[in-house]
A = this chain, B = another copy of it.
Amino acid sequence: MHRSSAVLADGREIIYYDRATGRAALPPDRRELPPQTAVSRVRYDAPTGDWVVVAGHRQTRVFSPGANDCPLCPSRDGHPTEVPAESYEVVVFENRFSALASAADEPGTSDTGDLLRSARATGRCEVICFCSDHDTTFAELKADHVRLILDAWTDRTRALAAIPGVVQVFCFENRGPEMGVSQPHPHGQIYAYPFVAPRIARMIDRATAHRRDRGTNLFDDLLAAEIADGRRIVRATDEWVAFVPYAAKWPYQVHLYPRRRRLDLTELDEPQSDAFPGIYLDMLQRFERLFDTPTPYVSAWHQAPAADGRDELALHVELFTNRRSSERLKVLGGTEVAMDAFSNDVGPEEAAARLRDLGD
């Protein structure tokens, strides 16, 4: 994997990832762009312990331009985009409308009391373009290209975790307008938060309690229990296991764990990295076959943060769709969004059986 870094017109970083060779020359960004003006803070929600990013400057975002104006395609004559190069394999750049910024323009503390406290929104929001072809999908990529994406995610995890103040790196793909995606070009996002993501914090709490009570790792025990049970396994290989979780919240949901537990992407070894593209593409392709209509999804890398209890976490991907049938979506209502109490209409064993049958 070759890595080449440059700077966009407004000072944002862009990084090209290539398989065969590095880039001798990086074209300049000739656009005139206004300077970045991030004014975000992160605020602590005392009743739940969760942090919330409060960003006042993102309402002007551009939504869904046509393919001719896609800002994620390579630049061509007269059509400059976010990517100055005329071609790329995988490219990452800082989001122009970032809720988090490594160079904050505010002092570090402006607390109004210890219950109402905020902090500088240190971090980054990056866009990762999975390929230069506007009209393809992640599921259609070749395995060696997915390996390059995995290497880029890994590189970004290492680089972002090294930014002072960054606690959690989150690599994910939202796919489809039903999941809030404003750009159809195949891409994902990488967030570097200055706090432990609330969901990861809960996992650390549970895993820490499990260690205290039983002396073992929660995720090791859970993976062993799923394998022993077997009814929700979609596919198991020498290196990775894909299963529908016992208490799935979404109609179709697959969790993908390496058999040998890792804390984050930087800990994957060669056999694990080599085996990942095959099973991950397989799961995405099964998702594509679920319905007559496109399957919106979220694919979310869960990684250990730089915080107490990180050693108990287990790197894994959570892949899920909000589509219940070809015509119907699961819309989150009061029980989900106000109480975090999910109700799932599709039995996890039934979902796993369907996904097993959808192998090619």
Contacts and interface: CB of A to CB of B under 8 A. Distances in A.
Interface of A: 43-56, 58-59, 63, 99, 112-113, 115-116, 170, 172-174, 179-181, 189, 191, 193, 195, 197-200, 202-203, 205-207, 210, 218-219, 221-222, 225-226, 228-229, 245-249, 298-300, 318, 324-325, 328, 331-335, 337-348, 350
A329 to B, nearest CB: 9
Contacts of A173: 334
Given A179-B333, A203-B48, A170 B339 contact: yes
A202 B151 CA distance: 36
A341 B197 contact: yes
A15 to B, nearest CB: 21
Question: Which 8 pairs from chain A and chain B are nearest by CB?
Answer: A180-B331, A300-B338, A45-B247, A198-B340, A197-B339, A43-B247, A180-B333, A172-B334
A345 B180 CA distance: 15
Contacts of A228: 113
A342 B46 contact: no
A180 to B, nearest CB: 3
Contacts of A221: 115
A contact face: mostly helix, strand, loop, or mixed: mixed
A338 B181 contact: no
Given A43-B246, A53-B344, A180-B333, A339 B202 contact: no
A193 B341 contact: yes
Given A180-B331, A298-B334, A340 B46 contact: no
B225 A116 contact: yes
A310 to B, nearest CB: 15
Given A56-B345, A56-B346, 12 more contacts: A43-B246, A47-B207, A52-B344, A53-B341, A53-B343, A55-B345, A116-B246, A197-B339, A198-B340, A198-B341, A199-B339, A300-B334
B335 A191 contact: yes
A102 B344 CA distance: 19
Given A55-B345, A199-B338, A222 B115 contact: yes
A337 to B, nearest CB: 6
Given A54-B348, A341-B198, A44 B247 contact: yes
